[in-house]
Chains A and B, each alone.
Chain A
Amino acid sequence: DAGVTQSPTHLIKTRGQQVTLRCSPISGHKSVSWYQQVLGQGPQFIFQYYEKEERGRGNFPDRFSARQFPNYSSELNVNALLLGDSALYLCASSQSTGDYGYTFGSGTRLTVV
């Protein structure tokens, strides 16, 4: 079975641009969460979706948005990129409650120049 897949793996953008990151969860998993990890820090929660509905939102500006599709894949969009948005963006999938832990994709490394 395929794990959590994310695309692209690496991305370089300039300030002010917009970016879309993609995630496909493990087959059968209905919940997708997005995390941002900057160097030297633990991952920070951005969004969680379950059954195509937003179930949680972290402390991120409105420049960050996301959605989940009927096949449970998800996109994370970031508008008006800032240098501080440079980070590893991780997608995690889980079964309904997440009590068994989350499985992370290998992430998208975004560099804003």
Chain B
Amino acid sequence: RKEVEQDPGPFNVPEGATVAFNCTYSNSASQSFFWYRQDCRKEPKLLMSVYSSGNEDGRFTAQLNRASQYISLLIRDSKLSDSATYLCVVNMRSGNTPLVFGKGTRLSVIA
């Protein structure tokens, strides 16, 4: 089983739609969780951290279910500018440790 798994998509949605991405991770000792956004041929950029209590940033909502080892990202009222690849990222251990990335889910928002 891969350490971090995501549906690669692509997800093609119309403007204004709500879209949800899911991610599962294999290591129950994982400490920190993030969603990164990556535009074509650019570097990944932190979109938001994911907390057990869930967190919201404008149109974006992230949820973490530690029992199921599952992370989600919900985007409401999709904009054309949301088109990108969304990477699920897990920090596997505490301390100064590397991040483990999923392959990413590609989103295309269509006018």
Number of interface residues of B (CB under 8 A): 25
Q: Which A residues touch B42, using CB under 8 A?
A: 106
**Shortest Cβ distance from A51 into B: residue:** B96
Asked if B68 is at the interface (CB within 8 A of a chain A CB), the reply is no
Scan A51-84; emit 1 where CB is below 8 A from any B CB, else 0.
0000110100000000000000000000000000
Q: Which A residues touch B87, using CB under 8 A?
A: 42-43
Asked if A48 is at the interface (CB within 8 A of a chain B CB), the reply is yes
Q: Which A residues touch B45, using CB under 8 A?
A: 104
CB distance from A42 to the nearest CB of B (A): 3
| Residue with the highest number of chain B CB atoms closer than 10 Å, among A42, A103, A106 | A42
CB < 8 Å: which of A35, A40, A96, A106 contacts B103?
A40
Known contacts A98-B91, A104-B45; A45 and B32 CB within 8 A of each other: no
CB distance from A90 to the nearest CB of B (A): 6
User: 8 Å CB contacts to A: which residues of B83-111?
Assistant: 87, 91, 94-104
Task: Verify A104–B44 contact, CB threshold 8 A.
Answer: yes
Task: Verify A48–B43 contact, CB threshold 8 A.
Answer: no
Task: Verify A107–B97 contact, CB threshold 8 A.
Answer: no
Task: Give me the interface of A with B, judged by CB distance under 8 Å.
Answer: 31, 33, 35, 40-45, 48, 50, 55-56, 58, 88, 90, 92, 94, 96-107, 109
Given contacts A101-B46, A102-B46, 11 further A-B contacts (CB under 8 A): A42-B101, A43-B87, A56-B98, A58-B98, A92-B99, A96-B96, A97-B95, A98-B32, A101-B36, A104-B45, A109-B41
Task: Give me the interface of B with A, judged by CB distance under 8 Å.
Answer: 4, 31-32, 34, 36, 41-46, 49, 87, 91, 94-104
**A and B contact pairs by CB, cutoff 8 A, 28 listed:** A31-B96, A33-B98, A35-B101, A40-B103, A42-B4, A42-B103, A42-B104, A43-B101, A45-B100, A48-B96, A48-B98, A50-B96, A55-B95, A55-B96, A56-B97, A56-B98, A90-B44, A97-B95, A97-B96, A98-B32, A101-B36, A101-B46, A102-B46, A104-B43, A104-B44, A104-B45, A107-B43, A109-B41
